[in-house]
Structure 1
Amino acid sequence: MKKWLLIAMLALSPFAVSARELKVGVQCTYPPFNFRDASGTLKGFEIDIARELGKRMKTEMNFVCMSFDGLIPALLSKKVDIVASSLSITELRKKSIDFSIPYRASTARFLAKKGAGLQPFKDGHTPNVAGLKGKVVGVQRSTTNDNYLTGEFPGVEIARYDSAENLLLDLVAQRIDLALVGPIKVEMDFLNKPEGKDYEFIGPELDAAKYFGDGVAVGLRKEDQALRGEINAGLQSMFDDGSFKAINQRYWSFSVLPAVWK
């Protein structure tokens, strides 16, 4: 009797078992999506989304900061359980990992100084490789933007950066002539600030599925299908009850969802 009473007491104890948790891979240097503020507190759109998912899944989300190009290797080696760091769904990535339903659109645009006279596209929005001859284009390495630039602008000199912040610093310092960037980030985090007043987007918004995929989503291992189902259900409930919209509006006045989910 005493033995069974002890077992029952342990089962009710908050310290009897560890709380369920997931290690979430994030870049932590990509405002407004995931970044540390001046006090070192982790913030951002994707941090808010992951925390809200954690509440719905009754799961503690523990964030692990690393470079963007280290996220998928960390996922595959089980150093993290999921990735929530502006990871676009692409055919190449789907060969090694799986994705949730998308929670953000994935597009790109060229950014240059006003009046620079650069023409990265011909009429009809076809790449104008000759128009960038002798110019240096900056891009964040191992991203969909990097893949697009490499695939569609062969022979153009590319400068690759470990972060969007370093990329923009070099653009302002005129070490590069233009940059290929994510417009949702740059609109808020650069163009709407004093340091971006002399810069503008040039050319069309790029959304070719071959490079940019079907949107941005949570990345996870292929074998974790039960977890994928939980994450999808959590995201869908956020879309349905308005909580996703509320998080979205903390950062932008427009919806960042892919068109299919709007």
Structure 2
Amino acid sequence: MHINIIKRFIFLAVMVALGLSVNGCTTPPPAKIEADPTLLRVGVSPTTPPMIYKQNDEIVGLEADMARALAKFLQKSAVLVELPWVDQIPALLENRTDIIMSSMSVTPARQYEIAFSKPYFKSGLMILTKNVQKFTFITNVETALAQSITWRIGVIKGTTGEAFVAQKNIGAKAIKSFDTQGDALKELISGRIDVFVHDAPMILMMAAQHQTDGVKPLPFMLNEEYLAWGLRKSDTDLIAKVNAFVDQAYKEGTLQETIKRWIPMAQ
């Protein structure tokens, strides 16, 4: 990703953060919502702007918009069930939710437990750092991995960022796992970690919102990931309908419009 594109994205992301592109969403209901044929119980962890997060006590973001559109397609009402990230798959399997729409990447480990809809977005992992001047010579994955032995790396528990760092066995100086990206950001700003590895849309939004703190992303992706919505394997009818929604939204252009609204530099 070219640095000028990232700068442009940061400017536009700030506009989103100020509310120029925000659509309100229903206040999250209690964690326990009984199954109802008129409802689509959507599991969300609203801590990852611009995908799904809270603004003025409302849940907003790309996933919130898509949840409402999907519910309308299914002739249901969307109910956003707010959950910790680590509880998303257990809640789905225990029938506390009907679908996970919370910026979840498709991985083999997750596919072992749940089904996924057709992917709706290609993303990847990026690196956020505070002292970007020290990283100017790091321009690709290879140089990043080579230098990572000197880094204290922050990741979020249960995410592909954590899995990537673990699988690469990079021998980092330290690897710290956090519950939320807000926690990781505080540690980065305070200098207690050197880099934060997380999904690109969230990294870019954090950079936009915290420019005065000096945090910036390195201008490349560490990998490629596909985002999709999680469903129970036994819900074959719902899986088919959700896939039909993805196909229709893509054909009509509404999917691309929603993505562009929240992630202006998306390809």
TM-score normalised to structure 2 length: 0.78
- Give aligned pairs, total: 230
**CA shift at 1:28, angstroms?**
1.4
Q: Distance in 1 between matches of 2:187 and 2:83?
A: 22
CA-CA distance at 1:202 after TM superposition: 3.0
Is 1:111 the counterpart of 2:122 in the alignment? no
Query: Structure 2 counterpart of 1:190, which letter?
Result: M
Q: Distance in 2 between matches of 1:123 and 1:97?
A: 30
Instruction: Name the residue aligned to 1:240.
Output: 251
Match for residue 176 of structure 1?
Answer: 193
Mapping of residues 193-232 of structure 1, within 5 Å: 193-195=209-211, 198-202=214-218, 204-207=220-223, 212=225, 215-232=226-243
CA distance 1:154–1:207, change in 2 (3 Å)? closer
Task: Provide closer, same or farther for how the CA distance between residues 51 and 170 of structure 1 changes in structure 2, counting only shifts above 3 A.
Answer: same
C-alpha distance in 2 between matches for 1:122 and 1:153 = 18
Alignment gaps of 5+ in structure 2? 1-35
Residue type of the alignment partner of 1:114: V
Alpha-carbon distance in 2 for matches of 1:237, 1:102? 13
The alignment status of 1:96 with 2:113, answered yes or no, reads yes
Give the conservation status (yes or no) of the 8 Å contact 2:132–2:218.
no
- Distance verdict in 2 for CA 1:49–1:191, change over 3 Å: same
Range that drifts further, 100-109 or 193-202: 193-202
User: CA shift at 1:152, angstroms?
Assistant: 0.5
Q: Which amino acid aligns with 2:67?
A: A
Q: Which residue of the partner structure matches residue 28 of structure 2?
A: none
Q: Residue 260 of structure 1 corresponds to which residue in structure 2?
A: none
Residues in 1 aligned to 2:151 and 2:133: alpha-carbon distance in whole angstroms: 15
TM-score, normalization by structure 1: 0.80
Match of 1:132? 148
Residue type matched to 1:58 in 2?
Answer: Q
User: By how many angstroms is 1:126 displaced?
Assistant: 7.4
> Secondary structure of 1:254's match?
coil
Further displaced range: 198-207 or 21-30: 198-207
3-state DSSP of counterpart to 2:121? coil
Q: Partners in 2 of 1:124 and 1:29 — Cα distance? A: 30
Q: Would you say 1:77 and 2:94 are equivalent positions?
A: yes
State the alpha-carbon separation in 2 of the partners of residues 234 and 175 from structure 1: 44
Quote how far apart the aligned CAs of 1:245 are. 2.2
Q: CA deviation at 1:236?
A: 1.1
What is the distance in 2 between the residues matched to 1:179 and 1:70?
23
Name the amino acid aligned to 2:154.
G
Contact 1:98–1:220, Cα closer than 8 Å, also in 2? yes
Matches of 2:197 and 2:144, distance apart in 1: 16
- Which amino acid in structure 2 is aligned with residue 150 of structure 1? A
2:158 corresponds, among 105, 121, 142, to: 142
Based on CA coordinates, which of the two structures has the bigger radius of gyration? 1
Q: CA deviation at 1:123?
A: 8.3
- Output the CA distance in 1 between the equivalents of 2:242 and 2:181: 28
Give the whole-Å Cα distance in 2 for the aligned partners of 1:247 and 1:135: 36
In structure 2, what is the Cα distance between the partners aligned to 1:54 and 1:177?
41
